[in-house]
Amino acid sequence: MMTRETLYDAITEVRDELIIEAMETKPAKSRVRWLRFGSIAAAFAVVAGLGAGVVSGKIPWLRIGGNEAGGGADGSMVFDSYAGPVFPLTTVEGGDGLTAERTVTYDFQGWMAGDPDRPYYGLPVTDSYTLTNPTGEDKTVTLLYPFAGTLFDLRHRPTLTADGAELQTTLLTGQYSQLATGRPGGLPSLNSPDSWEEYRALLSGGRYQAGALEEWPDLSHIPVTVYEITNPWAEPGVGNKGDGSYNPTLHAEMELDYGKTTVLSYGFNSGKYDRDSGRMRQGFDAPQPPKEGASIDPGFYEKERAQPHFLIVIGEPLDSFRLVGVSTGGPESTDYLEWGVDIGADLRQYETDLDSALRAAAGQMRRGADGDAESTEDGPDFELYFGMLEDCLLDTGILLDDPEERYDFTSLEDLYPEVIQRVFYLEAEVTIPAGGSVTVEARMMKEASYNHACHSKHDKDIYGYDLVTKLGTNLDIAAQTAKAVNTDGVEIVRQNFGFDWENGVDTVALDPEQEHYYLEVRRAGA
Partner 1 sequence: MEDAAIIALYWSRDENAITETDRKYGPYCRAIAQNILSVREDAEECVNDSYHHAWNAMPPQRPDRLPPFLGRIVRNQSISRWRRERAQKRYAGLESLLSGLDECLPDPQDVERTVEGRELTRRVEAWLEGLSRDDRAVFLRRYWYGQEVQALAKAWGVSPNQMTKRLQRLRVSLKRNLEQEGMIV
Contact residues toward partner 1 (CB under 8 A) are 1-16, 18-23, 25, 27-30, 63-67, 81, 152, 244-246, 291, 293-296, 300, 368-370, 372, 374-375, 413, 416, 418-419, 452-457, 460
63: exposed, middle or buried (Cβ count in 10 Å: 0-12, 13-18, 19+): middle
Q: Which is nearer to partner 1, 68 or 338 (CB)?
A: 68
HSE (CB half, 13 Å, CA atoms) of 31? 12
Shortest Å, Cβ 170 to partner 1: 24
Q: Which is nearer to partner 1, 66 or 71 (CB)?
A: 66
Q: Which is nearer to partner 1, 22 or 73 (CB)?
A: 22
Shortest Å, Cβ 38 to partner 1: 29
Shortest Å, Cβ 121 to partner 1: 13
Contact between residue 286 and residue 250 where contact means Cβ atoms under 8 Å apart: yes
Cα 408-373-145 angle, rounded to 5 deg:
75
Angle between helix 382-395 and helix 354-367 axes, rounded to 10 deg: 120
Q: Which is nearer to partner 1, 217 or 239 (CB)?
A: 239
Shortest Å, Cβ 266 to partner 1: 13
Q: Which is nearer to partner 1, 296 or 479 (CB)?
A: 296
Q: How far is it, in rounded angstroms, from Cα 500 to Cα 433? A: 38
367: exposed, middle or buried (Cβ count in 10 Å: 0-12, 13-18, 19+): middle
Shortest Å, Cβ 434 to partner 1: 48
Q: How far is it, in rounded angstroms, from Cα 331 to Cα 268? A: 12
The beta strands (E) that lie in 155-222 are given as: 159-162, 165-166, 170-173
Shortest Å, Cβ 285 to partner 1: 9
Q: Strands 507-510 and 477-485, how do they pair?
A: antiparallel
Secondary structure class of 385 (helix, strand, coil)? helix
HSE (CB half, 13 Å, CA atoms) of 82? 28
Q: Which is nearer to partner 1, 81 or 262 (CB)?
A: 81
Contact between residue 254 and residue 368 where contact means Cβ atoms under 8 Å apart: no
Shortest Å, Cβ 112 to partner 1: 10
The b/e string for 433-455 (b: 16+ C-beta within 10 A; e otherwise) is eeeebbebbbbbbbbbbbbeeee
Q: Which of 212, 149, 205, 151 is nearest to 177 (CA)?
A: 212
What number of other Cβ atoms are within 10 A of residue 168's Cβ? 8
Shortest Å, Cβ 441 to partner 1: 30
Shortest Å, Cβ 198 to partner 1: 16
Shortest Å, Cβ 492 to partner 1: 21
Q: Which is nearer to partner 1, 201 or 526 (CB)?
A: 526
Shortest Å, Cβ 7 to partner 1: 5
Q: Which residues contact 205 (CB under 8 A, 6 or more apart)?
A: 183
Q: Which is nearer to partner 1, 6 or 320 (CB)?
A: 6
Q: Which is nearer to partner 1, 1 or 165 (CB)?
A: 1
Q: Compute CA 20 distance to the chain's CA centroid, rounded to the nearest angstrom.
A: 30
Q: Which is nearer to partner 1, 12 or 503 (CB)?
A: 12
Q: Which is nearer to partner 1, 269 or 481 (CB)?
A: 269
- Between the alpha carbon of residue 318 and those of residues 255, 259, 313, 314, 325, the distances in Å are 6, 12, 8, 9, 20
Q: Which is nearer to partner 1, 81 or 437 (CB)?
A: 81
Shortest Å, Cβ 343 to partner 1: 17
Q: Which is nearer to partner 1, 53 or 237 (CB)?
A: 237
Q: Strands 249-255 and 320-326, how do they pair?
A: antiparallel
- Between the alpha carbon of residue 466 and those of residues 290, 362, 485, 522, the distances in Å are 52, 34, 16, 15
Shortest Å, Cβ 457 to partner 1: 6
The three state secondary structure string of 224-287 is EEEEEEEEEEECCCCCECCCCCECCEEEEEEECCCCCEEEEEECCCEEEEECCCCEEEEEEECC
517: exposed, middle or buried (Cβ count in 10 Å: 0-12, 13-18, 19+): buried
